[in-house]
């Protein structure tokens, strides 16, 4: 048995002996055992404290941007609290496998769960609209007397939705309706996270991490390199700021394909590889034209030869070493054949 699982079993024994005063701790441990799929006595406890639940079909949740798909998970026993559960940046939205598993585990523990995914998050985009939809979904749930009798709800957000849920919970129209808010792997400052994803540095130069008394486990904290998935999300969000206007949509298409493939790796590796292959072909669709004077004495024409060799397996390359050109200038003494050759080069470029 794993070390962690053995420790969990000891805790289970102690808690069961102390029933009923420790029943909330038992239920909390049972939830963790289900979520982490712990074996042994922890699994037995999870099964003992597991409640039946129902799962609805997808239905429309009204928001200021129109209807957004939602799904309800309802315990058959009395509900502890109704909560919203919002996924991070993922193409599958409320059907994302890990989100569904967490919603089911919460429902088995006695929570009524509304899962809802802002559409932009399913498109891998972080926008202000996402926060508005999270707020609207929580407001809708709090207004359903059959689901939230006291008019108050819990809010859970995963990854980027964690920070967005904290923001939504603090808004004046929702604040009094929120019983608690939980950010699971979320952010506190989006520009700071983007700087980390771009540079690997979680803090600004010279900034020191505070040690608030409310934070446990800081002794285990370490800085890890940023994940490609997060970097790609940032690039997609900022695409219009990093490339010229005519390249924005091709860049977004390529990045979106990469993110789609990354999402599929958890559920369908074959489809994931197909999407990764598609992303690689997008680079070949972007043509690169290289033009150089064959006798250039400022930047030698060999530079274009070497650059073409480097790019030819990464993009569609067309290169021309022309006697009509010296260094970025036209030499009128060139032959008609060279003029025709250069015209063909420019014709190919102008087709794009």
pLDDT digits (tens, 9 = 90+) for 190-210: 888 888 887 888 888 888 888
159: left (phi over 0), alpha (psi -120 to 50) or beta: left
Residue with tokens 């923001």: 167
The pLDDT tens digits for 118-164 are 999 998 888 899 999 999 999 999 999 999 999 999 999 998 899 99
Length of the chain: 352
* Percent of the chain with pLDDT strictly greater than 70: 81
3-state secondary structure the chain: CCHHHHHHHHHHHHHHHCCCCCHHHHHHHHHHHHHHCCCHHHHHHHHHCCCCEEECCCEEEEECCEEEEEEEEEECCCCCCEEEEECCCCCCHHHCHHHHHHHHHHHHCCCEEEEECCHHHHCCCCCHHHHHHHHHHHHHHHCCCCCCCCCCEEEEEECHHHHHHHHHHCCHHHHCCEEEEEEECCCCCHHHHHHHHHHCCCCCCCCCCCCCCCCCCHHHCCCCCCCHHHHHHHHHHCHHHHCCHHHHHHHHHHHHHHHHHHHHCCCCHHHHHHHHHHHHHHHHHCEEEEEEECCCCCCCCHHHHHHHHHHCCCCEEEEEEECCECCCCECCCCCHHHHHHHHHHHHHHHCC
- Mean pLDDT rounded to a whole number for the chain: 81
Question: Is it the case that residue 1 has pLDDT exceeding 50?
Answer: no
pLDDT of 169:
94
Do residues 130 and 120 lie in contact, with contact meaning Cβ atoms separated by under 8 Å? yes
- Choose the weakest-confidence range: 27-31, 64-68, 301-305: 27-31
Per-residue confidence band for 349, with pLDDT thresholds at 50, 70 and 90 = low
Model-level pTM greater than 0.85?
no
The pLDDT tens digits for 38-90 are 788 777 777 877 889 999 999 999 999 999 999 999 999 999 999 999 999 98
Give the contacts of 88 (CB within 8 A, at least 6 positions apart).
121, 157, 158, 159, 160, 161, 162, 185
Domains defined along the chain, listed by start: 3-48 (no CATH), 53-188 (3.40.50.1820), 235-283 (no CATH), 286-350 (no CATH)
Question: Is it the case that residue 19 has pLDDT exceeding 80?
Answer: no
Average confidence (pLDDT) over 91-113: 92
Question: Is it the case that residue 25 has pLDDT exceeding 60?
Answer: yes
Pick the more confident residue, 141 or 230: 141
pLDDT of 326:
64
Question: Is it the case that residue 168 has pLDDT exceeding 90?
Answer: yes
pLDDT of 147:
97
Pick the more confident residue, 324 or 256: 256
Per-residue confidence band for 17, with pLDDT thresholds at 50, 70 and 90 = low
Instruction: Show the tokens assigned to 216.
Output: 């446990």
């Amino acid at each position: 048995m794993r070390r962690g699982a053995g420790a969990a079993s000891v805790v289970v024994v102690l808690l069961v002996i102390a029933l009923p005063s420790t029943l909330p701790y038992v239920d909390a441990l049972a939830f963790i055992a289900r979520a982490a799929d712990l074996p042994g006595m922890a699994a037995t406890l999870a099964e003992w404290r597991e409640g039946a639940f129902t799962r609805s079909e997808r239905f429309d949740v009204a928001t200021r941007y129109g209807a957004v798909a939602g799904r309800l998970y309802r315990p058959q026993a009395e509900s502890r609290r109704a909560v919203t559960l919002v996924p991070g940046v993922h193409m599958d939205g409320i059907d994302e496998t890990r989100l569904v598993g967490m919603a089911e585990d919460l429902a088995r523990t006695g929570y009524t769960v509304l899962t809802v995914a802002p559409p932009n998050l399913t498109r891998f985009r972080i926008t202000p609209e996402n926060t508005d939809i999270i707020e609207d979904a929580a407001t809708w749930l709090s207004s359903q007397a059959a689901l939230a009798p006291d008019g108050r709800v819990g809010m859970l957000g995963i990854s980027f939705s964690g920070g967005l849920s904290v923001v939504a919970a603090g808004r004046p129209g929702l604040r009094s309706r929120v019983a608690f808010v939980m950010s699971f792997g979320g952010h506190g400052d989006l520009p700071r996270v983007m700087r980390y994803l771009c540079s690997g540095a979680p803090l600004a130069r010279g900034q020191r991490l505070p040690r608030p008394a409310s934070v446990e486990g800081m002794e285990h904290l370490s800085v890890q390199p940023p994940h490609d998935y997060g970097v790609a999300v940032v690039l997609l969000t900022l695409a219009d700021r990093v490339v010229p206007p005519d390249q924005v949509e091709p860049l977004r298409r390529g990045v979106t394909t990469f993110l789609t493939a990354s999402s599929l790796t958890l559920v369908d590796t074959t489809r994931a590889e197909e999407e990764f292959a598609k992303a690689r072909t997008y680079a070949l669709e972007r043509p690169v034209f290289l033009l150089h004077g064959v006798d250039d004495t400022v930047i030698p024409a060999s530079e274009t030869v070497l650059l073409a060799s480097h790019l030819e397996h990464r993009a569609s390359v067309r290169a021309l070493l022309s006697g009509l050109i010296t260094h970025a200038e036209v030499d009128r003494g060139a032959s008609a054949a060279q003029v025709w050759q250069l015209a063909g080069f420019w014709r190919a470029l102008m087709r794009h």
